[in-house]
Structure 1
Amino acid sequence: MISSELHAAGVHDPALRDAYRRCRRLNAEHGRTFFLATRLLTPQQRPAVHALYGFARRADDILDDVLDDVDPRRSTAERAERLHTLATQLFHRMAGDSEAGDPALEAVVDTARRYDIPWEMFDDFLASMRMDLTVTDYPDRAALDRYMYGSAEVIGLQMLPVLGTVGPPEEAAPYAAALGKAFQLTNFLRDIDEDLQRGRVYLPADELAAHDVDRDVLMWCHANGRTDIRVRRALIDQHAQTRRIYDYARGGIALLSPRSRPCIAAALTLYSEILDRIEAIDFAVFAQRATVGTVRRLQVAGAGLARAWAARVHGAGS
């Protein structure tokens, strides 16, 4: 299966194939819902998506000290240096004047070249990753949006040339960016307790304050495994805002290449259903993790697979 995907994508160099395989493993192990959705893409498209995920995961691992080689926890300065090294290696490798020095980079550089993904998108992503080293709170929506542009919206924009569009890519770009933002906001709501343990709050402080919520109140919720009534009201507001972004992003699916629509529709459905689960547990996100069950994921994937096959058959016959 993996070999056939790489063959379909035109990846024949043994070392490069190994790099793509590594990225695929990272996606399968750490991004199960997203990985499931990628199965609805054509074999030709999948390696590029796995490469983009693998690079993002590599940067995220540096931030959270979850490293394959089980390094001890690193200081902020050490992690900043590792991010700088990663950025420098990527820049020089994309410019063609240096070896990457990191197996994950070979695949993402190859993908960037094949799909003409500019360096600036990776630079914006890494800028947001550097913010995570020192920024632990966001005073307002504008500040959070600046972070999310690089950490989430850019991911959607990187994906766009791989997915393809039926019209000018710039028409689909705002929707792709919005979907990336919606996915990340969903994670922020689901993982608020986990993020608190890392010392981070990814919700706008002024919007929380409107409900008399601050970091101390959130820490009380974490310590007691309960959602304070004030926090519940704040989360309901954040939940509604995220829903509206999904509603907007959904309008962009029709602008994608038909062969890519089932994948993105499935990903949107599964991630937005995490919001359903958060609501179903009455926002008890400090006591349990809101997840979409395996049976439901397979149902959505099965329906998407039928649509994907239909799109491919129609495309082959047109």
Structure 2
Amino acid sequence: MEANRQETIKQDYQYCEEIIKHHSKSFYYAFSQLPKAKAQAIFAIYAFCRKADDSVDLIDTKEEQLLAVANLEKELSLFEQGNPIDHPIWRALTDVFERYDLSVEPFYDQLIGQKMDINFAEPKDLSELETYSYYVAGSVGLMLLPVLASKSHQDLTQLAINLGIAMQLTNILRDIGEDFQKIDRVYLPIAELAAENYTKKDLEHKIINANFIRIWEKIAQRAEYLYDDVEEGFRYFDEDSRLPVKLSSAIYRGLLNAVRKNKYDCFTKRNYVTPLEMQRIYRSIK
């Protein structure tokens, strides 16, 4: 019986690993460096977050999106009560919660972030953008923290949140064109656009001028400030987790330089860190 359970859990984790391998090569590259048990835990958490994202991204109407998130919230509530539905992600997460001291609250916060996307309102200022970034990405940092710093006696809550926010700001800066062209969404704060007299018409015409670059750089420099701040706390993570955390942070930070190298073209080019660059980053921080 125990052998059957172990085989099922093994397959459940493989299911989760395939999801991260398919959707985020940079995350997979970084976290596959972890010891197997920790890597599996990260893959399971990522699979939940991917499921949350897909409940918004892969569904067309607002009503269906809200229903999908509500259904996921019900599944999470059942999981919290000890009655998880029979699905590889929930079985894997059950095992993760048994092995690590995770809280369910960041998982609920992640779903709040999904609802914020469904009922999207352009952020008024950088503070509102960071609040949104907490719910969709800082929450992920809190989910991962008990796995990556399982032996730490330091309070790393804010560090985990800041790393998630920095990564989300990076995503936003990389995906400005895609977000606007595909889903008519502008994450650049209204106040920053107004201060530089940069309009949605300019976005529509893919204008990269000094005004656009100043807006982009202001947000990028905030992300880089958070990356720097987080770097000071890497030593408090478990010894076997420091390298993957540093690596994921450095690779994401590298996306900002990829955009700069492409002369801030977030409209017609897909900016990414190449496998060769990932290997260079890995060698530089090892």
Instruction: Give the TM-score normalised by the residue count of structure 2.
Output: 0.92
**How many angstroms does 1:302 deviate by?**
5.3
**How many angstroms does 1:75 deviate by?**
1.4
- Following the alignment from structure 1 to structure 2, what is the Cα–Cα distance between the partners of residues 198 and 84? 22
CA contact (8 A) 2:100 2:150 kept: no
Q: 2:162 maps to what in 1?
A: 178
**How many angstroms does 1:203 deviate by?**
2.0
**1:76 corresponds to 2:62:** yes
Q: Which has the larger displacement, 198-207 or 176-185?
A: 198-207
CA contact (8 A) 1:90 1:109 kept: no
Q: 1:282 maps to what in 2?
A: 263
Alpha-carbon spacing, 1:155–1:219, altered in 2? closer, same or farther (3 Å): same
Match of 1:181, SS? helix
- Following the alignment from structure 1 to structure 2, what is the Cα–Cα distance between the partners of residues 206 and 11? 57
- Following the alignment from structure 2 to structure 1, what is the Cα–Cα distance between the partners of residues 54 and 11? 20
- Following the alignment from structure 2 to structure 1, what is the Cα–Cα distance between the partners of residues 283 and 35? 15
**1:116 corresponds to 2:96:** no
2:281 is matched with which residue: 300, 308, 313? 300
What percentage of residue pairs aligned between the two structures are identical? 27
Alpha-carbon spacing, 1:28–1:11, altered in 2? closer, same or farther (3 Å): farther
Alpha-carbon spacing, 1:101–1:255, altered in 2? closer, same or farther (3 Å): same
CA contact (8 A) 1:266 1:301 kept: yes
1:62 is matched with which residue: 55, 58, 66? 55
Query: Where does 1:238-317 land on structure 2 (aligned, <5 Å)?
Result: 238-301=219-282, 307=286
Question: Which whole-Å deviations, capped at 9, do the CAs of 1:115-143 have from their partners, x for residues lacking one?
Answer: 22222111111011111111141112222
**How many angstroms does 1:303 deviate by?**
6.0
- Following the alignment from structure 2 to structure 1, what is the Cα–Cα distance between the partners of residues 260 and 148? 31
Question: Which whole-Å deviations, capped at 9, do the CAs of 1:254-274 have from their partners, x for residues lacking one?
Answer: 111111111111111111111
CA contact (8 A) 2:20 2:28 kept: yes
The letter for the 2-side match of 1:87 is E
CA contact (8 A) 1:41 1:260 kept: yes
**1:85 corresponds to 2:66:** no
Alpha-carbon spacing, 1:257–1:198, altered in 2? closer, same or farther (3 Å): same
CA contact (8 A) 1:11 1:17 kept: no
- Following the alignment from structure 1 to structure 2, what is the Cα–Cα distance between the partners of residues 61 and 169? 34
- Following the alignment from structure 2 to structure 1, what is the Cα–Cα distance between the partners of residues 94 and 84? 11
Question: Which whole-Å deviations, capped at 9, do the CAs of 1:63-96 have from their partners, x for residues lacking one?
Answer: 111xxxxxxx531111111111111112112211
- Following the alignment from structure 2 to structure 1, what is the Cα–Cα distance between the partners of residues 163 and 47? 19
**How many angstroms does 1:13 deviate by?**
3.1
Q: Which has the larger displacement, 245-254 or 232-241?
A: 232-241
2:172 is matched with which residue: 188, 191, 197? 188
CA contact (8 A) 1:175 1:251 kept: no
Alpha-carbon spacing, 1:198–1:109, altered in 2? closer, same or farther (3 Å): farther
Q: 1:213 maps to what in 2?
A: 198
2:119 is matched with which residue: 122, 134, 145? 134
Query: Where does 1:123-162 land on structure 2 (aligned, <5 Å)?
Result: 123-162=108-147
Query: Where does 1:26-45 land on structure 2 (aligned, <5 Å)?
Result: 26-45=19-38
**How many angstroms does 1:107 deviate by?**
1.6
CA contact (8 A) 1:205 1:214 kept: no
Match of 1:144, SS? helix
User: CA-atom RMSD, angstroms?
Assistant: 2.0
2:213 is matched with which residue: 219, 225, 232? 232
- Following the alignment from structure 2 to structure 1, what is the Cα–Cα distance between the partners of residues 7 and 36? 18
Q: 1:6 maps to what in 2?
A: none
The letter for the 1-side match of 2:26 is T
Q: For structure 2, which runs of at least 5 residues remain unmatched after alignment?
A: none
**1:53 corresponds to 2:53:** no
